[in-house]
A = this chain, B = another copy of it.
Amino acid sequence: MLHVSRIADLRAACDAARAESLRVGLVPTMGFLHAGHRSLMRSAAAATDFVVVTIFVNPLQFGANEDLDPYPRYLAGDLDACAAEGVDCVFTPSPAEMYPRPPITSVHVEGLTAELCGAVRPTHFDGVTTVVAKLFAITGPCRAFFGRKDAQQLAVVTRMADDLNLPVEVVGCPIVREADGVAMSSRNAYLDRPDREAARVLSHALRRAVDAIVAGERDAKRVAHIVCATVGTEPRVELEYAEVRDAHELTPMVALEGSVLIALAARVGSTRLIDNVLVEVDGSKVSADLGVADLNAPGGSPCTAR
């Protein structure tokens, strides 16, 4: 496995791969890799020939009062995880390598970034789209793999690639969940035991919303209310939003039909967590992507409800 920290070295490695007619796949991460990231690497390995994992805690996507400094880092473990997944190249640039001078160029996606997480993190998505545009330009991937846990990020990056005609297919991959349903997140490391237990209410609330849709509920407000009410039963958790949106345009829905995203953000103690579920509603037919269990955990298996 190649491990590079210089942009020029990553570019050269990807150019060399392409020169051998290998398709380059990109998995951009902020490190502290968990089973969710590993599932992205597996999707990349299945669909491309030269898998690049980037590990970069991007300062640009953190707000002034957010957790840039304490964000968990564990490079040795990350490199082991990448090697175990057969990754071809890991890129671990420094902030100075990515931003040798103050970055005055930014990529902005209007509208899609204004609400949901963008409402409380107003500069976050510009930081994401800008660094992803850079990583795309450096790596030149034919496919790039993003987790569906960051559903808004996936919608924003997909739209950026489409609007800017970037020659890359943006692939969304299922949320990976712990055995108790909690979505894998590097930020779960912040949670003490009581908060970690309380966090279960988030996926539980989403599952109750899906149960209601499966049982025939089609009113977006009532579905959102189920999420709010369920989360409200857990005093350690403060809901920031629970929204029912069109999965691609992120526009509010009234009656559920088509690709429906039920998304939430909440504070568990001082830790901000997000989760969501993607529901396909086709008349009376409902299918929900509730995510998959940790593939490495004993008895791990897909948990898609139909």
A28 shortest CB reach to chain B, Å? 14
Which of B104, B107, B138 is within 8 Å of A105, CB to CB? B107
- Stretch binding the partner chain, chosen from A80-88, A160-168, A239-247: A160-168
State whether the Cβ of A214 lies closer than 8 Å to any Cβ in chain B: no
- Stretch binding the partner chain, chosen from A41-49, A108-116, A260-268, A280-288: A108-116
Known: A159-B105, A160-B105. A7 touches B138 (CB 8 A): no
Which of B109, B133, B140 is within 8 Å of A104, CB to CB? B109
Within 8 A of B (CB), among A84-134: 103-112, 129-130, 133-134
Are B163 and A104 in contact (CB-based, < 8 A)?
Answer: yes
Within 8 A of B (CB), among A222-255: none
Pick the most buried of A7, A11, A105, A159: most chain B CB atoms within 10 A of its CB: A105
State whether the Cβ of A137 lies closer than 8 Å to any Cβ in chain B: yes
Which of B140, B164, B165 is within 8 Å of A167, CB to CB? B140
A89 shortest CB reach to chain B, Å? 16
Complex Cα gap A134–B160 (Å):
11
Known: A104-B159, A105-B159, A159-B104. A138 touches B165 (CB 8 A): yes
Complex Cα gap A164–B137 (Å):
7
Are A112 and B108 in contact (CB-based, < 8 A)?
Answer: no
Instruction: Give the nearest-CB partner of A139 in chain B.
Output: B165
Chain B residues, CB < 8 A from A138: 165, 167
Instruction: Give the nearest-CB partner of A15 in chain B.
Output: B167
Chain B residues, CB < 8 A from A166: 137
Chain B residues, CB < 8 A from A110: 104-106
A109 shortest CB reach to chain B, Å? 5
Which of B7, B109, B112 is within 8 Å of A165, CB to CB? B7
A129 shortest CB reach to chain B, Å? 8
Known: A11-B167, A165-B7, A165-B134. A112 touches B107 (CB 8 A): no
Q: A104-B110, A105-B164 are in contact. List 9 more A-B contacts (CB 8 A).
A: A104-B111, A104-B112, A105-B110, A105-B159, A106-B110, A134-B164, A137-B164, A137-B165, A137-B167
Enumerate the 10 nearest inter-chain pairs by beta-carbon distance, A residue then B residue, closest first.
A105-B163, A104-B110, A137-B165, A134-B165, A138-B165, A137-B166, A105-B109, A105-B160, A104-B111, A103-B163
22 A-B pairs whose Cβ atoms sit less than 8 Å apart in the complex: A7-B165, A11-B167, A103-B163, A104-B110, A104-B159, A104-B163, A105-B110, A105-B129, A105-B159, A105-B160, A105-B164, A106-B108, A106-B110, A107-B107, A107-B108, A107-B164, A133-B164, A134-B163, A134-B164, A134-B165, A137-B165, A138-B167
